[in-house]
Amino acid sequence: MEQLQWGRHYVAVEPTHFRVEYAINPFMDPAVQPDPERALAQWRTMVATLEGLGARVDVLPQRPDAPDMVYAMNLGLGLVREDGSRHVVMSHMRYVERRMETLSAQPWFAASGATTSYVGRDGVGAHLEAGDAFAFGGDLVVGFGPRTEELALKHLAAELGLRVRGLRITHPGMYHLDLAFCPLDERRALVCPAALDDASAAALLELVPEPLVLTEEEALTTFCANSVVVGRTVLMPACPPRVRARLEDWGFEVVLVDVAEFHKGGGSIRCLTNPVDVTLGRDLTVVPGGEVVLPAQL
Ligand code: ARG
């Protein structure tokens, strides 16, 4: 089975100012604060584990006024063009509490040599949170609803020249697609259909030739879909025995890293790491003019 070719270069934010200051998802409760030292230690172990697997991790500093910036997955959608140059479509966060993250992330990405853009700037901007967007099967699969707006899909498709497959997220606890979907290789993915409306759940199951279907409980209580894949290794915050058995049967090695302090903010390993090596023309098929495919509404 062809391995994922992306997932070897990440951007992460060192958690020096991580707090739960407000509640913009059902996991967050300002009365339950992370332990700063334990959070930093867990994050460092995660980064060292990724590096040990041969991945590159670039680290940007956290803004003191942006407690959620540690969830770097949401900073932007990183892409590599066919000529090797890098581009990042910056997120436009749904909640004002996180919008300032972009003010630091955009200059940081630019200084690192990437060009940057925003979706739909000529007309109305649209909310886009990159934790909703994944390359799979040559297309960009984008969850919309709680965070990313449906309008963003049109802009992404047209501006990048891609086929964008939209999935409507309806579960309040799986407010980003990365809590319910994790590509494993070219044919397989962790999939939690309970995150989506019926038409989108059916569309996702059709899109993934060999889905490993997670129950709502598995996805919500263990954050197991919020994992990262480096070649044939799946770096997970937890793994129910049933899921591990299937992954190992498929030839994957499961490596666990405890990032429980970050679950208090509603995110796990994937949210903390943003892959920036998804390559146009390799992982995403170029479709001149772009195209949006939405599931038939049942
Ligand atoms: N507290 C953050 C928020 O609600 C958590 C983000 C989780 N990140 C993710 N990619 N799912 O925005």
Domains and CATH numbers, the chain: 9-17+34-288 (3.75.10.10)
CA–centroid distance, 138 to ligand 1, in Å, is 25
pTM of this prediction?
0.97
pLDDT at position 262 is: 98
Q: What residue ranges of the chain have pLDDT lower than 70?
A: 122-124, 297-298
Given the CA of residue 178, which atom of ligand 1 is nearest to it? 11
CA–centroid distance, 266 to ligand 1, in Å, is 6
pLDDT at position 71 is: 98
User: Between β-strands 115-118 and 86-90, what pairing exists: parallel, antiparallel or unpaired?
Assistant: parallel
For ligand 1, pick from 134, 176, 270 the residue to mutate: most ligand atoms within 8 Å of CB.
Answer: 176
For ligand 1, pick from 74, 174, 268 the residue to mutate: most ligand atoms within 8 Å of CB.
Answer: 74
pLDDT at position 125 is: 72
pLDDT at position 120 is: 78
Given the CA of residue 266, which atom of ligand 1 is nearest to it? 5
Ligand 1: residue whose CA is nearest its atom 7: 267
CA–centroid distance, 141 to ligand 1, in Å, is 18
pLDDT at position 296 is: 80
Residues with CB under 6 A from ligand 1: 24-25, 28, 68, 71, 73-74, 98, 131, 176, 178-179, 265-267, 271
Q: Which residues are bridge partners to 168 per DSSP? A: 144
Q: Residue 161 — left, alpha, or beta (φ > 0 → left; ψ -120 to 50 → alpha)?
A: left
Q: Which residues are bridge partners to 190 per DSSP? A: 182, 212
